[in-house]
Structure 1
Amino acid sequence: MAFLRSYFLKGCLAATLASFFLLSCQESNTDNLLSDFFLDRDTPETIEVPASFTEDSARLLGHQVDSIFKVLQKKRGFNGTVLVTKYDKVIYKGAFGYADFGRKDTLTTETAFQLASVSKQFTAMAVMMLQEQGELSYEDSVQQYIPDFPYKGITIRQLLTHRSGLPNYTYFSDKLWPDRKEPITNQDVLNLMVLHQPKIHYKPDTHFEYSNTGYSVLASIVEKVADMPFEVYMQKYIFKPLDMKNTFMYSKDFMVLSGKIATGYTMGKRKRSHDYLDSVLGDKGMYSTIEDLHKWDQALYTQKLVKWKTLEEAFAGSRTEKKKAEDYGFGWRIREIESGDTAVYHGGLWHGFNTYLLRNKKDHSSLIVLSNLTNGSLNYLKDVRKVLYPAQPKQLTASKNTNPDKTATARL
């Protein structure tokens, strides 16, 4: 395909296409190449909208969601922003409370929040894009890109699916990093692992264990392969193409560069200041708004970033051991929701920020919630899901273990 583009630039379209079609008689993979060449990546995946979904029903659903969040704000102290879609239509969006309690700075739908572990799906997308371009393989070992990485036998796929067994850098850095006033980078995390070799938790690919370290290593691999800083790659190839204008990665200067950002608060509305771990990217470190995350959600119904076949693998799951209630793909948790549909989602919890993004492909719906007050209010999102995804009669007596929020937000 690279040679086609060079000929186009020289004005040789006719000759090139003639040569291309001549090769179709000789090469078995030409049909695939042609389909790639003529691929309209902006064309969205279509879905049949049922007659029951009308303006009135959408408005009613939006009112119900609004009522739930007003109750959550009053009784549970919810402070944040919300956006809900159904059949690709925004049926509700709102903002509750303050971006900064001290200044009484009111939240808006364009306020940016630290996404915490919701960042992981974007890191996974960067890896998927490079894989699709032939720049790396999921089965490549980490040593192919980081030669002095001390843990043998770990693949990119195992990093993506939390099957690497790597120890959590947020714990071992507390013991090994000499100055907590000095920000630690992804390269610093790698250096600590090379120098001190913290004990690995288990042999790679034996079972699932959630790993922030794995996603920080993935960000470093993206840097090596793309030959540019991770934050530059994300801005150039994901945020900008999707017009995510209020989305960015953490940096020392991000307060100046970004515009309106929420301040994180812990229980009791105690302001959480930035610390040395904030500067590690890939597992967290991304800031965005509900408006921009809606653009992201909609882009995943197109092939603008990667082909649908690539996305299907990301949503397929990876846990081969005894069946669990929840599976994990590439940066996405996977489980059955109240209606019986299979949804993909992720939550995040980090330094005063609590986040949640759920997508249901069956009805092209999403639930996006960003909070800058970690008071446990997002544990009640099951009330919203019950309205968006009502259980079928046969499921009303199903297992009580239907609330993914606690596992989603319990850790980064």
Structure 2
Amino acid sequence: MRMDPSMSTAPDTTTTTVELPRATTDGWSSAVTESMTRYALPGLGAAVAVRGDLVWSAGFGLADIGRALPVTGDTLFRLASVTKLVTATAVLALRDSGELSLEDPVSRWVPGFPPSAATIRHLLCHGSGMQRETPNDPGWRTGRFRSDEDFRAAIGESEFPFAPMERWKYSNLGYNTLGEVVEAASGQPYAEFVMEHVIEPLGMNGTGFYPGTGLRERLAKGYIRIPDQDAVVEDSKGWAALPAPAGQLFSTAESVVRLGSFLAGDLEKGPLSPGTLEEMRRPQIIADEGWSQGHGLGPMLVRDASSVLVGHAGGLFGYAAWLLASPKSHVAAVCLTNVGDGAPLLPLVQRFISEASEVVPAELPAPAMPPTAEAAELLGRYWGDGEVVSLVWKGGNLVGQWPLREGLTRGPDMTLEREDRDVYRFVDHGPYVGELLRVERDDYGRVRGFEVCTYGYRRL
């Protein structure tokens, strides 16, 4: 049956702190319609959030061709591998609560795991070298995957074509193994723990693993493209139950974009601390020689000319998804569709983020706070290591300002936190992050300089 992507619901737009220009959202709608025509997509749901607030959402085309049901804000799609983001979040939450370490060997938590040096960290970033799918599982061909018991028995048959961190190798099997880790460390069934500790804290209403009969009425029917034709047919495996940790979630575009806002650091509350979230987004392994994509502790990292976007792609029987977020510009965007080919989704999501970023207002400056007494006596200019540096009070923090040097990643502002009298630590970025700054005083107790990494600086 041929597609008519011009059928769309009116954008269900919520305007909060940012109002997008009508020309921008009209352009997005036109781009979606053009992509749907080109790739024969039956239906598509999209949403954009800025600083954690939904600013635009829209449904296009049909959720069910046979019944002529349009995609709306309530339409559910399968998220496929976007599910891996919540699995990774669950693992990091367990690490933060002291239940496990990312450096734990997987074999500590998963009985029968084959001999390997692979750790939990390696599984999170697809650096374990583990094969992609469960050994001898017929699921991708038949839609009937191995039961939990059969899966656990099959783990021991897994192969590792590469040593840990030798190269990036995507592994659904690795993430399903992480589901076993979550159950062992938490003492709860995987889906129960994730719903309680990840989905609900994120406010992702309408998101779940196994929708009941009532929710099935809201699920977009999955389709597959007929080769060499501008037409699709229903995918008979659209309802197949996957092993949950790697790809079983269902959600709406408006709900899953909250997961993107979480990745951008824009939700007031969430399952992870800001420090752990930053760690989650940090590159662990590069996927290609050109460093266009890599992986953090769960998120895919998509690099463009000016920034790194974080999120995940997904694709399975009759469904595809792309979720991305920009921590730099505080924008998150998602596209979900009911055909199992996500070819047009990535450029659409990248466009949404790029154009929304252009209208994001600058953050209001924090109220001015005077420097603490300890910091006040350190402020000024210093000389050492062939350069003049400054300690200044900025945004309520003591900040070190080092000049830029060609070829070195020295940012102008490096935040310092006090650890003890006359002892401070660089905490955010730059070549000295994690290092100590030790204040030096003269015989009268006056600040005469400081030392960083054995380099000495004297007050000017």
Shift of 1:323: 6.5
1:191 aligns to 2:153 (yes or no): yes
Rg larger in structure: 2
Q: Deviation per CA, 1:213-235, whole angstroms, max 9, x where unpaired? A: 11000011111111121111122
Aligned to 2:64: 100
CA distance in 1, matches of 2:164, 2:52: 39
Higher helix share: 1
Match of 1:99, SS?
strand
Verify: 1:316 aligned to 2:282, yes or no. Answer: yes
Q: 1:123 to 1:74 in 2, by over 3 A?
A: same
Counterpart in 2 of 1:221?
181
Q: Distance in 1 between matches of 2:216 and 2:273?
A: 31
SS in 1 for 2:278: helix
Q: Take 2:318 and 2:147, find their aligned partners in 1: how far apart are those partners?
A: 21
**1:172 touches 1:198 (CA, 8 Å); kept in 2?**
no
Q: 1:307 aligns with which of 273, 279, 297?
A: 273
TM-score by length of 1: 0.72
Q: Helix, strand or coil for the counterpart of 2:254?
A: helix
Give the deviation of 1:380 after TM superposition: 4.5
Q: Does 1:118 align with 2:82?
A: yes
User: 1:16-31 maps to which residues of 2 (within 5 A)?
Assistant: none
**Contact kept? 1:247, 1:288, Cα under 8 Å:** yes
Q: Confirm whether residue 58 of structure 1 aligns to residue 16 of structure 2.
A: no
Partner of 1:272: 235
- Return the letter of the residue paired with 2:320: N
Contact 1:264 1:372 in 2 (8 A): yes
* Distance of 1:385 and 1:131 partners within structure 2: 31
Q: 1:291 to 1:386 in 2, by over 3 A?
A: closer
> In 2, distance between residues paired with 1:206 and 1:168?
15
Match of 1:161 among 112, 125, 130: 125
User: Which residue of structure 2 lines up, in the alignment, with residue 394 of structure 1?
Assistant: none
| 2:186 is equivalent to residue 209 of structure 1 | no
Residue 156 (structure 1) shift: 0.3
Taking the aligned partners of 1:275 and 1:86, their CA distance within structure 2 comes to 32
Give the match's secondary structure for 2:146: coil
Kindly tell me: are residues 225 and 256 of structure 1, through their superposed partners in 2, closer, same or farther at Cα, counting changes over 3 Å? farther
Query: Counterpart in 2 of 1:263?
Result: 221
Q: Is the 8 A contact 2:238 2:318 kept in 1?
A: no
Cα deviations across residues 37-95 of structure 1 (Å, max 9, x unaligned)? xxxxxxxxxxxxxxxx964x533322221221132234433421011233444332110
Q: Is the 8 A contact 1:186 1:217 kept in 2?
A: no
Matches of 2:216 and 2:355, distance apart in 1: 35
Letter aligned with residue 49 of structure 2: T
What is the CA–CA distance in structure 1 between the aligned matches of 2:74 and 2:188, rounded to whole Å?
28
Q: Whose strand proportion is higher, 1 or 2?
A: 2
Distance in 2 of aligned mates of 1:343 and 1:95: 24
Higher RCO (CA-CA < 8 Å; seq separation 6+): 1
Identical amino acids, percent of aligned pairs: 26
Matched residue SS, 1:172: coil
Match of 2:430 in 1: none
Q: 5 Å matches for 1:61-76? A: 61-76=24-39
The equivalent residue for 2:310 is: 344
Equivalent residues of 1:61, 1:91 under 8 A apart: no
Q: CA deviation at 1:276?
A: 9.6
Q: Is the 8 A contact 1:347 1:355 kept in 2?
A: yes
Describe the shift of the 1:54–1:368 C-alpha distance in structure 2 as closer, same or farther (beyond 3 A): closer
Partner of 2:388: none
Q: 2:344 aligns with which of 377, 386, 408?
A: 377
Quick check: 1:180–1:275 contact (8 Å CA) kept in 2?
no
1:120/1:283 contact within 8 Å kept: yes
- The one of 331, 341, 345 aligned to 2:298: 331
What is the CA distance between 1:242 and its match in structure 2? Answer: 2.8
Whether the 8 Å contact between 1:158 and 1:164 is mirrored in structure 2 is: yes
The correspondence for 1:296, drawn from 253, 256, 259, is 259
Shift of 1:185: 3.1
Equivalent in the alignment of 1:42: none
Closer/same/farther in 2, CA of residues 139 and 172 from structure 1, 3 Å limit: same
Q: How many residues align?
A: 329
- Identify if the C-alpha distance between structure 1 residues 271 and 256 changes in structure 2 by more than 3 Å, giving closer, same or farther: same
Q: Tell me the CA shift for residue 379 of structure 1.
A: 5.5
State whether residues 109 and 185 of structure 2, in contact with CA within 8 Å, keep that contact through their aligned partners in structure 1.
Answer: yes
Amino acid at match of 1:160: L
CA contact (8 A) 2:137 2:145 kept: no
CA contact (8 A) 2:18 2:55 kept: no
